[in-house]
């Protein structure tokens, strides 16, 4: 089974089934296992009493242990599955667990549905997918948070895993998820993690460089053929505004989605009681609502369909 066939089958399976709840309840999720290892190592190595240099070195060691463990386990699984009946099916299932189409779509849809009920429901739903303070968000703030999270996580949670699955098979996508999980847990620019999470944050930036720009291109191409959306504005916004984002990568999918939907994303937001006045991306309307989340979800769904179609063609050609 080629990596193209594996990527297509895993993406299709996850889009249909997601991660089965009985499996989650029984054994957890691979990202949870990675997170547990990171948590154990961080508690041992990120002692505030250590010097900044020592904590930075420890963060590098932690990341090395995490990646070595992930590579060993994933390669062992691949080698083992090659020699058992229907091992290919197990490999497809395992790869599908590291893609997050269904879960992301459902989480963002819950925000739109919550906002249609009332602001409190919208705030509650959005608190599950963003790190900013939900109690400080009005209707527009909740909608902005949902759309921005959808755009960024399309890259981190879907396109990037598929990209590394195509390139390097199951070990490739597993290593990417380990890097991304480490960044989400320790790659913060605060006193606790500034030095310890330095290596994780930098490697995550590198790993997402191509997928973020690929996601923007997919949004722009999808919008080009979707009535009511603007593909040219999507690509123009991505090229012009992505560099305004604090992240070297997140601005690409966010700016592309802003242009496609004719809205503005970014701007002021609250984290941990502090207001950050960030640049805006896009040229469209400032105020957005649940209906705009629906439009973002439409672009999201059609973009995933386009991605799946491309994977199908590649699987036919190179399978």
Reported as a single tens digit per residue, the pLDDT across 177-220 is 999 999 999 999 888 999 999 999 999 999 999 999 999 999 99
Quick one: how many helices (H) and strands (E) in the chain? 14, 4
Find the mean pLDDT for residues 100-115.
Answer: 96
Instruction: Write down the pLDDT at residue 276.
Output: 66
Residue 295, φ and ψ in degrees, nearest 5: -65, -40
Rounded Cα distance between 223 and 259, Å, is 9
Helix (H, G, I), strand (E, B) or coil at 41: helix
Instruction: Write down the pLDDT at residue 274.
Output: 62
pLDDT greater than 70 at residue 272: no
pLDDT tens for 252-267 read 999 999 999 999 998 8
Q: Judge whether 219 and 256 are in contact, CB under 8 Å.
A: yes
User: Is the pTM of the predicted complex or chain greater than 0.75?
Assistant: yes
pLDDT greater than 80 at residue 46: yes
Six-digit token string for 161: 């895993």
DSSP H or E segment with residue 271: strand 269-271
Find the mean pLDDT for residues 73-93.
Answer: 94
Residue 185: give the domain boundaries. Answer: 3-318
Residue 27, φ and ψ in degrees, nearest 5: -130, 0
Q: Which of 181, 225, 235 is nearest to 30 (CA)?
A: 181
Confidence category of residue 68, pLDDT binned at 50, 70, 90? very high
Which is it for strands 265-266 and 280-281: parallel, antiparallel or unpaired?
Answer: antiparallel
- Three-class DSSP labels, 272-315: CCEEECCCEECCCECCCCHHHHHHHHHHHHHHHHHHHHHHHHHH
Rounded Cα distance between 193 and 23, Å, is 32
CA distances from residue 7 to 126, 209, 300 in whole angstroms, order as listed: 30, 20, 19
Residue holding tokens 């930098």? Answer: 202
The residues, ordered by sequence, that sit 6+ positions from 274 with a Cβ below 8 Å of its Cβ are: none
Q: Which of 48, 75, 74, 46 is nearest to 200 (CA)?
A: 46
* Domains of the chain: total: 1
Q: Which of 81, 88, 84 is nearest to 5 (CA)?
A: 88
CA distances from residue 12 to 120, 219, 282 in whole angstroms, order as listed: 35, 19, 32
Q: Judge whether 164 and 175 are in contact, CB under 8 Å.
A: yes
Per-residue buried b or exposed e for 205-227, using 16+ beta carbons within 10 Å of the residue's own CB: bebbeebbbbbbbbbbbbbeebe
Average pLDDT, whole number, for the chain? 94
pLDDT greater than 60 at residue 273: no
């Amino acid at each position: 089974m080629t990596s193209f066939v594996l990527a297509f089958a895993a993406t299709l399976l996850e889009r249909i089934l997601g991660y089965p709840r009985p499996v989650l309840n029984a054994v957890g999720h691979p990202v949870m296992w990675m997170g547990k290892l990171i948590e154990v190592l961080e508690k041992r190595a990120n002692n505030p009493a250590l010097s900044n240099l020592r904590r930075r070195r420890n963060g590098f060691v932690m990341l090395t242990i995490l990646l070595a463990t992930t590579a060993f386990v994933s390669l062992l699984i691949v080698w083992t599955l090659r020699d058992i009946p229907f091992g290919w099916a197990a490999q497809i299932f395992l790869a599908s667990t590291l893609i997050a189409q269904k879960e992301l779509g459902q989480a963002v849809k819950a925000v739109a549905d919550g906002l249609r009920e009332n602001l409190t429901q919208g705030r509650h739903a959005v608190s599950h997918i963003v790190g900013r303070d939900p109690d400080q968000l009005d209707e527009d703030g909740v909608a902005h948070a949902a759309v921005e999270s959808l755009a960024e996580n399309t890259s981190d949670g879907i396109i990037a895993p598929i990209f590394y699955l195509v390139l390097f098979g199951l070990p490739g996508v597993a290593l990417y998820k380990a890097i991304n999980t480490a960044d989400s847990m320790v790659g913060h620019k605060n006193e606790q993690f500034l030095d310890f999470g330095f290596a994780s944050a930098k490697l995550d930036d590198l790993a997402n460089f191509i997928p973020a720009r690929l996601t923007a291109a997919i949004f722009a191409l999808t919008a080009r053929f979707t009535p009511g959306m603007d593909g040219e504005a999507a690509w123009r916004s991505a090229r012009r505004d992505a560099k305004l984002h604090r992240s070297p990568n997140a601005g690409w999918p966010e700016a592309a989605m802003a242009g496609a939907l004719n809205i503005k994303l970014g701007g002021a937001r609250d984290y941990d009681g502090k207001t950050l006045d960030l640049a805006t991306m896009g040229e469209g309307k400032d105020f957005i609502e649940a209906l705009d989340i629906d439009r973002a979800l439409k672009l999201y769904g059609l973009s995933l369909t386009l991605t799946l179609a491309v994977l199908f063609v590649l699987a036919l050609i190179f399978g």
